[in-house]
Structure 1
Amino acid sequence: MGREFLELFEGWASDYDSTVSGHDLEYKEVFQDYEKILKEVAGRAGQNVIEFGVGTGNLTAVLLHAGKKVYGIEPSGAMRQKAAEKLPDAELHNGDFLEFPKPAFPIDAIVSTYAFHHLTDEEKDQAVGVYGTMLAKGGKIVFADTVFKDRDAYQAKIREARSRQFISLARDLETEYYTTHAVMRSLFSKHGFAVSFSQMNPFVWIMEAVKQQ
């Protein structure tokens, strides 16, 4: 459920905003056009939104500024604290992609940025299945995350990272559960969604999945 990476995020909370701002050379391309990605996700979302992996609240802020009702889920206490400091009126809950308190209001969108790769493909399948039961026809899942066209593209990025001496990035790519378009397309289809992919930078794609029935 991604909680095996919780210690990483507890320690990263204080420096996360600096990283996404491009101050870490190894991850500069990963977070290229970060603000644009957040705005694009928010623009594709509906009015009543669950956000998974709130982190320090950057997407949450964009969603709230756009007038959305946001129900935030974040497993890291340190990250939730940072988000609460920025957004004292935000509704934030302890949980993850699979185990979380359900909102009392109906939702029409589920969003996340830079987080879904913390789940194995099997867990991603389970999660999309759960979300399919929560959304009515026309409801959306809008995730921005690192995902690859195919396994060759994935391996090429690892080789590129190592050739540039980006050892932390290479280790990250090899350790976490990055997947492919084919896998995501298959599991979204399995649970009644039609999905499209929009590339936002050399690593990140927006996956917009619409419930068909």
Structure 2
Amino acid sequence: MGREFLDIFEQWADSYDDTVIGHDIEYKEVFSKYEQILAAVADRSVGHVVEFGVGTGNLTQKLLARGLRVTGIEPSPPMRKIAEAKLGNKAVLLDGDFLQFPKVNNIDTFVSTYAFHHLTDDEKANAVTHYGSLLSKGGRIVFADTMFQSTEDYYHTIVKAKHQGYLNLAKDLETEYYTTIPFLKNILEENNFSVTFKQFNDFVWLLEAVKQ
């Protein structure tokens, strides 16, 4: 359920903010238009927001700037410590993950950036079903993450990364659980969500789902 990657989160904690602004060439395209991606997620969020994978708190800051109430869920202690230092007492940050998190009432929007790929496809399906049970009509899921239009595109991206010499990126793509847009569309529609996708760079798409 994503916690098997906690050691990766620990390694990324101190360098994450430098990476997202393009200082690591391997991940430069992954984080292309990073600020626009965060802004797009924040702009589509309403009411009481539960954010999965708070990380270093960059999206949380944009959500708070819009006057939204935020409950953050973050399994990594080092990441959570950095976020707490940035945010002070402006948001509630809790230990948890996409599938196991403390009870939170009256949720209007679930958000996440660069994190849903830490779940297997079966876990993604279970998560969407759970979120659907917690949201009222009009409730939203707004996730930005690396995803692919087909499995062929996914494998082509791994080959391309290796050809470019981006071996860390290739290893991430092979190790974590990247999925396809048709799969996500199907599981969301099965749980009575209408869903749209918007592409921001060669890796990241924005998923916006609204409970019907």
Q: Does 1:186 align with 2:178?
A: no
Query: In structure 2, what is the equivalent of residue 96 of structure 1?
Result: 97
Q: Does 1:15 align with 2:15?
A: yes
Q: Does 1:161 align with 2:161?
A: yes
Mapped to 2, the partners of 1:42 and 1:115 lie a distance apart of 16
Task: After TM superposition, list the pairs within 5 Å mapping 1:36-55 onto structure 2.
Answer: 36-55=36-55
Supply the RMSD in Å over aligned alpha carbons.
0.7
Task: After TM superposition, list the pairs within 5 Å mapping 1:62-211 onto structure 2.
Answer: 62-89=62-89, 90-104=91-105, 106-211=106-211
1:123-181 deviation digits (Å, cap 9, x = unpaired): 00010011001111111100000000001111111111011000000111111000001
Normalising by structure 1, what TM-score?
0.98
Mapped to 2, the partners of 1:52 and 1:103 lie a distance apart of 13
Uncovered stretches (5+) of structure 1, i.e. residues with no partner: none
Mapped to 1, the partners of 2:114 and 2:101 lie a distance apart of 18
1:190 maps to a residue whose letter is: E
1:178 maps to a residue whose letter is: Y
Mapped to 2, the partners of 1:22 and 1:66 lie a distance apart of 26
Mapped to 2, the partners of 1:136 and 1:40 lie a distance apart of 22
3-state SS of 2:210 partner? strand
Uncovered stretches (5+) of structure 2, i.e. residues with no partner: none
Which portions of structure 1, spanning 4 or more consecutive aligned residues, are displaced by more than 4 angstroms? none
Query: In structure 1, what is the equivalent of residue 30 of structure 2?
Result: 30
Mapped to 1, the partners of 2:107 and 2:100 lie a distance apart of 17
Mapped to 2, the partners of 1:174 and 1:197 lie a distance apart of 23
Mapped to 1, the partners of 2:134 and 2:183 lie a distance apart of 22
Aligned residues: 211
Shift of 1:11: 2.0
Mapped to 1, the partners of 2:165 and 2:11 lie a distance apart of 23
* Identity fraction in percent: 57
3-state SS of 1:86 partner? helix
3-state SS of 2:205 partner? strand
Mapped to 2, the partners of 1:211 and 1:190 lie a distance apart of 11
Shift of 1:194: 1.2
1:142 maps to a residue whose letter is: V
3-state SS of 1:22 partner? coil
3-state SS of 2:144 partner? strand
Shift of 1:96: 0.2
1:5-26 deviation digits (Å, cap 9, x = unpaired): 0011012111110111110000
3-state SS of 1:142 partner? strand
